[in-house]
């Protein structure tokens, strides 16, 4: 008798269009070729040792069990105080702020709590890669609107956003400062968004993880600043981005109490609670606002260094008003598609970048790649030396 071999049953994918992310692919390629990795967005320098000590102190003090589902009260109170001081909006720390396992979990939970099968969600491309798959997991319909692109860079086409609104529109996702383009929404953009949603039941998901990385004296137009929009918005931020600890995967969402009730219903079943000692450490660290108040100048210096290093090269620098990313055009160097050019840069020039086409569902091409300048000065100097020789 022939033995029966174990058989794994077939599985119908919930996300058939999704494969390995471009970030994983380019980071793997960078490691293989010994390239300077300016692709994936993470710092290569340490966080403040004082923050590590505060987290360690929380561990030693015994804060090692589950936190409350919504987060450690002291951290939620610190966030509420920061938002009030920075943006003038008073959130109730108990009912309107929830600590999450990173910003991506906050984004996912916000979408899952409000998008039902058949609901339409407007997503502005190029877009962070989690938005569209999460909408599809919720049974929603992504409605993709592309930013305009010109010599002056990228801009949100608000007339096209308005035209995309239908009776089925449940949510509009915005991201400012914007990954991957470095675009920052201004007051005119906020006014246009407000005019579109006024008189509707449309909600807004505001991805503001780079809130403290806005340059040249510009103001971050958080939706928290604008009561009309804050009343219908989930506002997401990231401690990982702000404090150079992306591996800690901790963020938060602020929203009006009726929205937060629904957010927490989903949150409690996909995460329940996040890292307890890290929350206590962050609460203590936030007593001193200097680290986030001084962050724009810190990263602007890196941006200016990077831009100066490419100023005489064949790359065309696009505006970089926020985030820690610099987009460049390479049409004077190559006519390769963006993914192929990024792979060539990584394997031959030994500097890894991300093709901006990867941030479009349809892979739209504009001859643009994205570099991350959240690196040590010596890392940037090595990368710039290699890039300037092209």
pLDDT tens across 83-131, in order?
999 999 999 999 999 999 999 999 999 999 999 999 999 999 999 999 9
The stretch 163-167 carries a mean pLDDT of 98
Give the confidence band of 368 by pLDDT, cuts at 50, 70, 90: very high
32 in a domain, yes or no?
Answer: yes
Share of the chain above pLDDT 70, in %: 100
Query: For residue 15, what pLDDT is reported?
Result: 93
Question: 32 and 153 share a domain?
Answer: no
Residue 143's closest CA among 155, 153, 128, 131? 131
Whether 2 is covered by a domain: the verdict is no
Residue-level pLDDT at 256: 98
Same structural domain for residues 150 and 170? yes
Phi and psi at residue 27, in whole multiples of 5°?
-70, -40
* pLDDT mean over 302-313: 97
Indicate if 319 and 363 belong to the same structural domain.
Answer: yes
Q: What is the pLDDT of residue 282?
A: 98
Same domain, 196 and 335: no
Residues 6+ apart with CB under 8 A from 127: 144, 173, 175, 359, 360
Q: For residue 31, is it within any domain?
A: yes
Averaged pLDDT for residues 70-93:
98
pLDDT at 1: 66
Q: For position 372, which CATH number holds? A: 3.90.1150.10
Over range 228-247, report the average pLDDT: 98
Q: Look at residue 40 in the predicted model and tell me its pLDDT.
A: 87
The domain spanning residue 90 has which CATH number? Answer: 3.40.640.10
For residue 19, what pLDDT is reported?
84
Lowest-confidence region among 151-155, 208-212, 286-290: 151-155
Q: Report how far residue 157's alpha carbon sits from residue 214's, in angstroms, rounded to the nearest whole number.
A: 21
- Rounded to the nearest integer, the mean pLDDT of the chain is 97
Co-location of 150 and 211 in the same domain: yes
Give the whole-angstrom CA distance, residue 120 versus residue 342: 33
Q: Is residue 15 part of a domain?
A: no
Residues 261 and 159 grouped into a single domain: yes
Range of the domain at 115: 49-288
Domain end, chosen from 255, 288, 321, is at 288
Tokens of 360: 């479009």
Do 342 and 383 reside in the same domain of the chain?
yes
User: Residue 2: is its pLDDT beyond 80?
Assistant: no
Residues 6+ apart with CB under 8 A from 240: 102, 103, 246, 247, 248, 249, 250, 251
Mean pLDDT confidence for 309-330: 97
Residue 367 is assigned to a structural domain of this protein: yes
Model pLDDT for residues 322-350, shown as the tens digit of each residue = 999 999 999 999 999 999 999 999 999 99
Give the number of domains in the chain. Answer: 2
- Same domain for 284 and 356? no
Residues 213 and 247 in one domain: yes
Query: Quick check: is 322 in a domain?
Result: yes
User: pLDDT tens digits for 36-65?
Assistant: 999 989 999 999 999 999 999 999 999 999
Are the C-beta atoms of residues 187 and 221 closer than 8 Å to each other? yes
On whether both 213 and 261 belong to a single domain, the answer is yes
**Residue 369: what are its φ and ψ, rounded to 5°?**
-125, 160
Neighbour count for residue 117 (Cβ, 10 Å): 8
The pLDDT of residue 20 is 81
Task: Examine the pLDDT at 3 and tell me if it is beyond 80.
Answer: no
pLDDT of residue 302: 98
- Cα(326)–Cα(300) distance, integer angstroms: 11
Do 34 and 123 fall into the same domain? no
Output b/e per residue, 159-176; b: 16+ Cβ within 10 A.
eebeebbeeebbbbbbbb
Tens-place pLDDT, residues 4-30 = 889 999 999 999 988 888 888 999 999
In-domain check, residue 166:
yes
Tell me, yes or no, whether 203 and 342 share the same domain. no
pLDDT reported for residue 313: 96
On the question of pLDDT at 193 being above 80, the answer is yes
Q: Which of 288, 313, 347 is the last residue of a domain?
A: 288
**Residue 326 φ/ψ, nearest 5 degrees:** -125, 120
Can you list the pairs that 73-79 forms with residues at least 24 positions away whose Cβ atoms lie under 8 Å? Answer: 74/279, 74/280, 74/283, 74/284, 75/99, 75/279, 75/280, 75/282, 75/283, 75/286, 76/252, 77/283, 78/282, 78/283, 78/286, 78/287, 79/252, 79/254, 79/286
What pLDDT shows up at residue 356? 97
Count of CB atoms situated within 10 Å of the CB of 317: 16
Are the beta carbons of 89 and 111 closer than 8 angstroms? no
- Tell me which of 264, 288, 312 is where a domain ends: 288
Q: Is 351 inside a domain boundary? A: yes
343 is written with which tokens?
A: 């792979």
Mean pLDDT of the 233-257 span? 98
């Amino acid at each position: 008798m022939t033995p029966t071999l174990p058989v794994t049953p077939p599985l119908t994918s919930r996300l058939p269009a999704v494969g390995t992310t471009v970030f994983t692919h380019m980071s793997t390629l960078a490691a293989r070729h010994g390239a300077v990795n300016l692709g994936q967005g993470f710092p290569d320098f340490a966080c403040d040792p004082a923050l590590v000590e505060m987290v360690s102190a929380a561990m030693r003090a015994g804060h090692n069990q589950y936190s409350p589902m919504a987060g450690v009260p002291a951290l939620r109170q610190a966030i509420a105080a920061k938002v009030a001081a920075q943006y003038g909006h008073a959130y109730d720390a108990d009912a309107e702020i929830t600590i999450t396992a990173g910003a991506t979990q906050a984004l996912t939970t916000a979408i899952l709590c409000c998008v039902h099968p058949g609901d339409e969600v407007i997503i502005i491309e190029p877009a962070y890669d989690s938005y569209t798959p999460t909408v599809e997991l919720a049974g929603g319909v992504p409605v993709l609107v592309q930013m305009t692109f010109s010599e002056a860079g990228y801009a949100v086409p608000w007339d096209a956003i308005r035209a995309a609104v239908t009776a089925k529109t449940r949510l509009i996702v915005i991201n400012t400062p914007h990954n991957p383009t470095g675009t920052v929404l201004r007051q005119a953009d906020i006014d246009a968004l407000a005019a579109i949603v006024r008189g509707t039941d449309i909600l807004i998901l505001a991805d503001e993880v780079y809130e403290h990385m806005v340059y040249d004296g510009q103001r971050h137009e958080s939706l928290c600043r604008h009561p009309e929009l804050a009343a219908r918005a989930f506002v997401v931020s990231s401690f990982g981005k702000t404090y150079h600890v992306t591996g800690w995967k901790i963020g938060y969402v602020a929203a009006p109490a009726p929205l937060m009730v629904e957010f927490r219903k989903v949150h409690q079943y996909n995460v329940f609670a996040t890292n307890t000692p890290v929350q206590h450490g962050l609460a203590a660290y936030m007593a001193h606002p200097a680290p986030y108040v001084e962050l724009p100048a810190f990263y602007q210096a890196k941006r200016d260094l990077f831009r100066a290093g490419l100023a005489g090269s064949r790359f065309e620098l696009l505006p970089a008003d926020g985030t820690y990313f610099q987009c460049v055009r390479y049409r004077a160097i190559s006519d390769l598609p963006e993914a192929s050019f990024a792979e060539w840069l990584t394997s031959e020039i030994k500097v890894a970048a991300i093709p901006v086409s990867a941030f479009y569902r349809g892979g739209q091409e504009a001859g643009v790649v994205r570099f991350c300048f959240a690196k040590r000065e010596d890392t940037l100097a090595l990368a710039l030396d290699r890039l300037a020789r092209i």
